[in-house]
Amino acid sequence: MKAGTKPVQLADKLWQIDLMEQGLPCRTSAYVIWDEKPVLIETGSSKSHDILVKGLKDIGLSPKDLAYVIVTHVHLDHAGGAGQMMQTAENATLVVHPRGARHMIDPTRLWNGAAQVYGDDLPKLFGSMVPVPEERVLIRDDKQTLDIGSRTLTFYDSPGHAKHHFTILDSKLDALFAGDAVGIRYRTCFTGWDFEWVMPSTSPVDFDPAAIDHTMDRLEKLPFKTVYHAHFGPSPKEEAIAETRRCGHAFADLIDRLYTPDITVEAVADALRQWVRTDLERQGHTVPSDLSVLDIDMVLDAMGLIHYQSRRQQ
């Protein structure tokens, strides 16, 4: 999927919309399941709202047609625009993890927490947040379901990236909508490189390799073949789970070796860049000398790893 392209139909009744996060193609996506009760999975930030509405229109839907808006977790690149979408999708119910619901109803604490990570750049990157009325919020706990017509979606608590994260099993599609719980797929249409790979996001503040292991063990046993990442698109189940687990351990080992109380984010980000280069070269890939396309993620991952290790030291 390239910048400016229309939504892509991935399977029967399933579309992917490129949200063009920060103007970048193939970075963040939303998914639409057009069943008897149409469902939108992820909204992106409010900066992506107009793109998302246009994507729905290109599919043949109006926001008013949506029965449910689901956010896998409440990080701003997934749920920052949920309030705006709920204003537009006036017939929809917002479906969210039990730990995330209060942040959708009153986003003040979530926004202030994000400001500690992004500083003055926060509004430029993610726009703003609008509260969602409590009566329009539906919590789905572990193993609870949602009937959307010809299929039932099942929700699974999936910590490791975030404590407020669930994944969504669609048995009719033989697929799992994974948000960030089963890693990020770095697509050629994002990097410009001639290969793709999967690795976890360790962005602040909930990275937990033990929780990742537990989540991967659970998900591995579920009946699906395809992982649909929010970042970005489909991966085979086996690859996504194995690489999220392997790299999660590697990143935890890296920060365990490097950590000192005064270590800088840039020092950890540099170590991550080198690790990624070495790991990809070991897999037989030719890695470009310029890794700047990964800079945003390397810095956020470094911040999350430092937070994880400092918490362990307390």
DSSP assignment string, 131-185: ---GGGEEE--TT-EEE-SS-EEEEEE--SS-TT-EEEEETTTTEEEEETTT-EE
Partner residues linked to 11 by β-bridges: 14
> Mean pLDDT, the chain, as a whole number?
96
Task: Establish if 258 belongs to a structural domain.
Answer: no
Edge-to-edge, what's the strand order for the sheet holding 29-33? Answer: 8-11, 14-18, 29-33, 39-41, 68-70, 93-96, 137-139
**φ/ψ (deg, to 5) at 147:** -85, 120
We report the CATH number of the domain holding residue 72 as 3.60.15.10
Q: What is the mean pLDDT of residues 197-224?
A: 98
H or E element, residue 191:
helix 188-191
Task: Establish if 189 belongs to a structural domain.
Answer: yes
Q: What is the mean pLDDT of residues 3-17?
A: 89
pLDDT tops 70 at residue 299? yes
Q: What is the mean pLDDT of residues 80-95?
A: 98
Tell me the per-residue pLDDT of 155-164, one tens digit each, with 9 for 90 and over: 999 999 999 9
Tell me the per-residue pLDDT of 26-85, one tens digit each, with 9 for 90 and over: 999 999 999 999 999 999 999 999 999 999 999 999 999 999 999 999 999 999 999 999
What's the longest Cα–Cα distance across the chain? 55
pLDDT tops 60 at residue 4? no
Give the count of domains, the chain: 1
Tell me the per-residue pLDDT of 235-264, one tens digit each, with 9 for 90 and over: 999 999 999 999 999 999 999 999 999 999
DSSP, res 91: T
What is the pLDDT at residue 2? 43
Strand 166-170 versus strand 233-236 pairing type = unpaired
Domain span at 114: 8-249
Tokens 């039990």 appear where? 98
Q: Which of 129, 121, 117, 138 is nearest to 85 (CA)?
A: 129
Partner residues linked to 32 by β-bridges: 15, 40
Tell me the per-residue pLDDT of 122-152, one tens digit each, with 9 for 90 and over: 999 999 999 999 999 999 999 999 999 999 9
Q: Which of 133, 227, 231, 238 is nearest to 190 (CA)?
A: 231
Task: Establish if 269 belongs to a structural domain.
Answer: no
What is the pLDDT at residue 314? 81
pLDDT tops 70 at residue 227? yes
Task: Establish if 279 belongs to a structural domain.
Answer: no
pLDDT tops 50 at residue 1? no
Task: Establish if 223 belongs to a structural domain.
Answer: yes
Residue 181 pLDDT class (50, 70, 90 cuts): very high
What is the pLDDT at residue 143? 98
What is the pLDDT at residue 3? 44
Burial letters 114-125, b for 16+ CB under 10 A, else e: beebeeeebeeb
pLDDT tops 50 at residue 306? yes
Is the full-model pTM beyond 0.85? Answer: yes
Please say whether the beta carbons of 269 and 302 come within 8 A.
yes
Q: Rounded distance, CA 86 to CA 5, Å?
A: 25
Task: Establish if 121 belongs to a structural domain.
Answer: yes
Task: Establish if 286 belongs to a structural domain.
Answer: no
